[in-house]
Structures are given as C-alpha cells and as structure tokens.
Structure 1
Amino acid sequence: MATAMAAASPFLGRNSFHVRKTSFKRCTHNSDIGFSIKAIFWGPRKAVDPTKLELSLEDFTLTDLGFKEDTTDFDKARKLSVCVVSSISEVSPDEWDACSLDAAGPEKYNPFLTHGFLSSLEESGCAVKETGWVPQHIVARDDCDNVLGVVPLYLKSHSYGEYVFDHSWADAYYSYGARYYPKLQCCVPFTPVTGPRILVRNTNYRDQVFDILVSALIALTVKFQASSLHITFPSANEWGKLKEKGFLQRIGMQYHWKNRNYKSFDEFLMDMKQSKRKNIRQERKKISVQNLTMRRLRGYEIKAKHWDTFYKFYRNTTDNKWGSAYLTRDFFHNMASKMGDQVLLVIAEEGDEFVAGALNLIGGDTLYGRLWGCLPRAYYPSLHFEACYYQAIEAAIELNLDKVEAGAQGEHKIQRGYLPVTTYSCHYILDDDFRKVISDFVVREKAQLELVMKLLQESGPFKDNVV
C-alpha cells in the first residue's frame, strides 16, 4: 500500500477516497487478523457478535503522587480494574453521571452523555446488537469499587448514524479483500454533538485514569480484531491528547449561533447586515400570516400525545430524505421521562392541530437542536427556519445560554446567524499501510476545510464591527 493514493477532494461522498490497487501486506502488530468480510458499508445493517473476551481487561496500579492525609477515598485508591459491560444498565446512573459531569464540568454539562439519554437508546432498541450497535462500554473501578471513569463504546458492523463519514474507507478496504467491519465507535449514537468521550472523575489520579482508559480502548480494538477505533465529536482538549496516543486527527464543520449577551432577538438582529436582518424579519412574518402559533414546551408540559405526533413528524422527515429512522417511538417517551426539564420541544400549531415540531436538549451553556418534522404532504413556508433556528435563538437568549448548536450540515444556516465552527474526530487504524493512506487523506481534507471555513467566515451575515 505504500504507493496507494487518496483522492484530493475532502468532501464526504462515497467516492471521496480512492486507493489504487498495489501489493497488499498486513501490518506486523495485527498479523493475526484474517481477511474474511464480516460486513460492508452498502450491505444490510446486520449485527456483529463481539469476539469472545473476558469482561475484565486488566488491572492497573495507580502511581502514588504523595497526597496528604485528608484526601478523599477516591484519592486513596491504589488499584484500578478495567472491564467491558454489554449494557449501560450495568453501571448505576449516579456513577455514570458523576463521571460525565466531572469530565465536562458543570458549566459545560452535556445532556447527551448522561445515563438517561444513553440508556434510552438501548432500552428502546435503537443502539443495540440488532441494529448493528453492540454496546461495549468501558468501566474503570478503583479498589474501593468506586467508578473513576467510563467510555461510551460500540462495536459496529456498518457506518450509519455517525455523521463523520468513513464509507469510502470501507470501500478501500473491501477493494483489497480486507475487512473494515467490525470497527469500534466511541460516540453518542445518532448525535453529532461535541463533548468529552473519555469520562473521568475529577480526582488526583485523573490523568492516569484517562491514559489507562485510552490504552484499554486500543487493547480492545486488537482483541476484537477490529480494523479501527473511531472517537467522534470529542472535545478539542481530548483531540489534542489523543494525537499523542497515536490517533489520526480529522476535522469537520458545523454551524453554531453565538450569544453575545443579547437581551432580545431584536438586539441580535441589530448585529446583522441590513439585508440579512430584513430577510429574517420577512421569514418570521410568514408564520403569523399562515395562522400558525409557535410554542416552546419543557419537561412536564410535553405530553404523550406530543411525542406520538412528533414521532410521525420525525418519520416523515426521514422518509422524505431517503434516510433511516434510527429512533423508535419508545425512545422519545423514554428519553423524555428521564431527561425532564432538559428537553425543550418547539411546536407549531394551526388552530388546535399540532402541525410541526423541533426537538432540543438544554445543556450547561448550550441549546442543542436535534430533530425536526412536520405533517406529511404539508408545506408551510419558512416554518423550518422559525422552529429550528429562530425559536432556538430566542430560547437561548431567555435561558442565558452561550450558544445554539443546530446539528450537522446546512450552509443555509449562515445567513440566519449560525457561523461555521470546527468539529473533531480521532481515528486509530491498526493496519500500517491503510493508516498511512488515511493519514495523508485527512491532512489534505483539513487544509481544504479550513480554507472553506475561512471564506464562509469572511462572507458572514454580521456587520463588520461584530466579532
């Protein structure tokens, strides 16, 4: 593979990465992996069975850093055991959430990393073996049985529901008679939201536990005979640390809205260029002209009937986009019962009829826009922009949140105040030859994406004096 070449285009279609056929050899440190094909990207999303493996990975000794006598029980630990669990239900919600909260910090609280959200995906049949998402979460406990770290991890037989596209990588493996699947995916399923992925308690051993968990991830990749390990949408800090551990670095792009201490939506509009401000006002006026009423519901205000109807909207969206309905009706009910006031549902009503909606989750400093849908065969001009973008901005201002993340893709967001920002992913490729080719590809992709982002920033919708 030394002479293999990747295509120059950074864009993420299936033909964005090609390999010219040359001689192929296996890497030496993974030479026990055969070439039988378990699954390929365009095949059915069949489940994979994890390799038979002892649940306990390894025990580690934590280095004594000379702590004082008044340290907590967490800081008195000397041993760390690392194991794999096949369901998040095997970890208590309190222990998982303590790791998640410490990893992000209270001000950056991320609702998607909570036990409530992740368990809802498993319990409702969304992220399970039958859909090609085999939970293989990593848990680190000290010698007092305290959970010091967890990692949300899945063994996968396909590349659906990830939002960091590696389909062309799978094609390249397949063209050489090698297998790309199964692979390991560290992420929040179906959720392109940035946040920490190696969730560690805030103890004096924090850095050691982080390093041990990363080592366990790599060891598990080898034990499962997986082609690769992917950590998608990690924090920028993790992204930097993981480069030192041998991970390839990749970037992506999303569009986020930034709150500049606005007191109202009109104050936000005054920062826009006149033409953009006029366009937004015209779009918002169309809502009342169509006799539509917008409402924002939270927690207990959202009834079962809302979720049943919203699920129909969600299915209408996926069907129209030739997409896959990753989420089940039960997921929405289950998630809402666990997440409470962290859930914000924007609804549009025509008279007494619920005609469209947008699902958001509320974090420590961010409003996360996730899903949108409307009645089948219905068309309401500008309603998508109102429900997904303008209502989210108003809610963020009211809640004094720092930003709105409105999901993946969509250059149309720019003229509505959402600017391009960098997202991150890390990739550990076991095969040396494929690793080199993919490394060259992500370097070229990064250069082109950075140029695109610079051009988009320079042609943004805000006045020149707005930073």
Structure 2
Amino acid sequence: MKQEAIQLRIIDALSDVAESDWNPLLASDSGPFLKYAFLNALEKTGCVGGNTGWQVAHLIVEDSNSRLLGAMPLYLKQHSYGEFVFDWAWAQAYEQNGMPYYPKALSAIPFTPVRGPRLLVSPHADKGVIQEILVSGLKTLVTQNGLSSAHVLFPENDELGVLKQQGFMLRDSVQFHWHNEGYQNFEQYLANLTMKRRKNIRRERAAVESHQISYRHIPGEIAVASDWNFFYRCYENTYIEHRSSPYLTEDCIQLLGSSMPENFHLIIATQNERPIASSLLVVDKPNATAYGRYWGAIEHIPCLHFELAYYQAIEYCIKEGIQVFEGGAQGEHKMARGFIPTTLQSAHWIEDAGFANAVKRFLDREHEGMAAYVDELEQHIPLKSSKVLS
C-alpha cells in the first residue's frame, strides 16, 4: 500500500460513510460505544451537532478507490461538558490571557467515560501508517483552523504510545470498577468484603426492602417503547433535580433501544406494581463487560440508588458471568460497594508552546498527586483480596 494513494478528509456526519464500512474498523474488543448505531443515534437525534457545542468532524482515511482504511471519532467542542476529563482551569487560563480556548478538537465518545480505541484501522491496512496519518491529521486540523488544542480521551493503552510520540501529553484519571472473582451468588460476593462493608450493604438493602420494592430485569431485546419511555422519565428527572438538562433525548434512547438492543439491559424498580425508578446497563457480553450508565427515580426511597444502580447490577453480572462492571467516572462511594480504583489515561496536545509547557508542568505535578491518591485509596479497598488495576 502506497502512502501517496491515501487521503485524509473530514466528514460532518457519520452517515456520510456506510455502516458496513465503519463497523469492520472495530476490533472484537472495541465495545459497543464505537458502533455505528451508537454514534449515529447521537447525531441523528440531535444529541450532538447543531447548537449542542459538539460539532461533528470525524476524520477518515481512504485509499484511491474511496475504501475506508481508518477513522477517528472527532468533535469540535465549544465547551467542556460531557467529557469527564476536566480542563475548565485550562480554559480559564486561556481567557485570562486574552486567548480563546474554544473551539477545541476532541476525540471521545460523547457523554461516555469509557476506554476504547480512538484510532480505528481496517484489518486490511497498515496499522502504524494509518494511526500516524490520523494523529498528524488531527494536529494539522488544530493548527490550520486556529484551534487551541486536541484531546483524545480514554484511548487504548497501545494508542497512548502513538500519541505520545507525536507530542501529546498524558493525563491520569481514576475510575472505580467491580471485578467478578468467580462469584456464584451475591452472598458469596458479600463474603469477600470486610465485615463493616458487608453489614452496611445488608443494612442498605434491608432499608429498601422495607418499602416493598420489587425489580424487573428487562433485556434490551424484549424491552418495549413504554419501558424506554419510563426509563427516560427517570433519567430526565435526575438532571432536573440537579437543575441541569439531560444530554440524551428520548428519541435517542428509543433509537438506541431498537437499533442495538443486544447491548442494553434495563432494571425497573416497582412499588405496589407501580414503576418508580430505573437504571440502564450497557452490556458487552462477548467481552464480559457491563457499564453502568444512567439511573433515575420519580419517587424518593432511601438507598434505592445503591440497590438499583449497584446491587441489582452486580447480581445481574454474577448471573450472566460478566467479569467487569464499570461504574463510570468518579465516585469514591463506589469503593464501599466493592469497586476498586482503576487508572486510565487521556492524551492532550496544546498548540501554543507557552501554554503547552505550563500544562506539562501541571500534568507532572498532577501525576504525582494522582499516584499518591491511588495509593491512599488502595489502603481502603474493602475486599479481602484485591488489587489496583491500570
């Protein structure tokens, strides 16, 4: 394959390429969030694009016959919402120096703090060549369009080396993941916790049980429109209670439920046969991984959040043989429920040399502080046998 026969271009809608061309770029362990159906649903229902501050600008690499060889999910951002890697202080520093920080280039899955490939390459192409073209193209896009920076959030570990070679700086994040140690049931999982945590979980579950709550586990394949409608009411209410607006629309939830049902699992809590709360898991059964994404309630029951978002989800994972349950960004309270800290990294390229040096000094200090933070967390893991993963 001759490099001069390859062209890089930007598309402003995923629908500019065919699903049958996009999905073959994904390895078997790429997960559900990079599927054409997922990213396209966000665009088609207006969750990104338009006036959302997420301008679609995916990078694609093609050969002379317009065959797709590689791609990078990419957005031009007018803010830093929905990213889970916080750079508000960087934006403020730019503003204080009379320079615009936005728009910036962002390669990430919108609203989804999950590790996965960001430099997608066809199995029929030279991986090293395509990855280099994508990263170089990203930097060129920043420079030629007067953007402040480029950010690649939660890429795979092997992609971090490629990005670092091209001048990207790495930044640590900590998430909390639950790991299945071959548990046969929830009681066996509890037995692996310290006595204090075990008693606390039993107390929380008993508090919910006293309200006569029952649960419906609904695989995405059999969920109907009314199930998704109720879930959305709960999801939307969570944002309303925090005086915010939901990232996803009900049309998006309904479309995702119909276009990739095999990747979703709903849990609905009922009281006296009336639904009052719901949580949503995104499931990657081939890779034995589940992701806790959203939860919400239309009626307040103490400890119901823990039951629905964690304990019912863990019971599901044990039953289905799921090995890893990712609880999402932040939340030290998850450790009390048996989740352990996991370090992920993101990559950042700052166009202005002066700011790049300042950010590098900040990241060096932050890296040391994050390492100390993880060491401290490790001392409080409530499992009898556990380890910190990276």
- Under a length normalisation based on structure 2, what TM-score does the superposition of the two structures give? 0.95
Deviations 1:373-406 (A, max 9, x none): 000xx22121111111112212222222220111
Report whether the alignment pairs 1:366 with 2:254. Answer: no
Contact 2:225–2:254 under 8 Å retained in 1: yes
146, 158, 163: which one aligns with 1:242: 163
| Aligned match of 1:111 | 32
Q: Name the CA distance, whole Å, in 1 between partners of 2:363 and 2:244.
A: 26
Alignment of structure 1 residues 289-438 onto 2, 5 Å: 289-363=210-284, 364-375=287-298, 378-438=299-359
Q: Name the CA distance, whole Å, in 1 between partners of 2:66 and 2:184.
A: 48
Alignment of structure 1 residues 438-449 onto 2, 5 Å: 438-449=359-370
State the secondary structure of the residue aligned to 1:130. coil
- Shift of the alpha carbon at 1:146? 2.4
Report whether the alignment pairs 1:229 with 2:145. Answer: no
Q: Name the CA distance, whole Å, in 1 between partners of 2:30 and 2:187.
A: 28
Letter in 2 for 1:299: G
| Structure 1 unaligned regions, length at least 5 | 1-59, 63-77
Report whether the alignment pairs 1:94 with 2:31. Answer: no
Q: Name the CA distance, whole Å, in 1 between partners of 2:232 and 2:300.
A: 18
Q: Name the CA distance, whole Å, in 1 between partners of 2:378 and 2:386.
A: 12
Q: Name the CA distance, whole Å, in 2 between partners of 1:239 and 1:206.
A: 14
Letter in 1 for 2:251: D
| Aligned match of 1:138 | 59
Greater CA deviation, 262-271 or 153-162? 262-271
- Shift of the alpha carbon at 1:466? 4.5
Alignment of structure 1 residues 153-232 onto 2, 5 Å: 153-203=74-124, 205-232=126-153
Letter in 2 for 1:157: Q
Report whether the alignment pairs 1:83 with 2:42. Answer: no
Report whether the alignment pairs 1:453 with 2:379. Answer: no
Alignment of structure 1 residues 244-263 onto 2, 5 Å: 244-263=165-184
Contact 1:344–1:362 under 8 Å retained in 2: yes
- Shift of the alpha carbon at 1:148? 1.5
Contact 1:109–1:365 under 8 Å retained in 2: no
Q: Name the CA distance, whole Å, in 2 between partners of 1:301 and 1:285.
A: 30
State the secondary structure of the residue aligned to 2:6. strand
Q: Give the number of aligned pairs.
A: 385
* C-alpha spacing 1:82/1:314, structure 2 compared with 1 (3 Å): same
- Shift of the alpha carbon at 1:145? 3.1
| Structure 2 unaligned regions, length at least 5 | none
| Aligned match of 1:61 | 2
- Shift of the alpha carbon at 1:301? 2.2
Contact 1:287–1:293 under 8 Å retained in 2: no
Give the RMSD, CA atoms, in angstroms. Answer: 1.5
Q: Name the CA distance, whole Å, in 2 between partners of 1:169 and 1:361.
A: 32
Q: Name the CA distance, whole Å, in 2 between partners of 1:238 and 1:388.
A: 31
- Shift of the alpha carbon at 1:240? 2.7
- Shift of the alpha carbon at 1:354? 1.3
Q: Which has the larger radius of gyration?
A: 1
Contact 1:192–1:407 under 8 Å retained in 2: yes
- Under a length normalisation based on structure 1, what TM-score does the superposition of the two structures give? 0.80
Q: Name the CA distance, whole Å, in 2 between partners of 1:185 and 1:235.
A: 16
State the secondary structure of the residue aligned to 2:42. helix
- Shift of the alpha carbon at 1:295? 1.9
Report whether the alignment pairs 1:269 with 2:201. Answer: no
| Aligned match of 1:65 | none
Letter in 1 for 2:290: L
| Aligned match of 1:52 | none
Letter in 2 for 1:80: I
Query: Percentage identity across aligned positions?
Result: 38
Letter in 1 for 2:169: L
Letter in 2 for 1:147: L
- Shift of the alpha carbon at 1:324? 3.0
Alignment of structure 1 residues 15-34 onto 2, 5 Å: none
Q: Name the CA distance, whole Å, in 2 between partners of 1:374 and 1:289.
A: 17
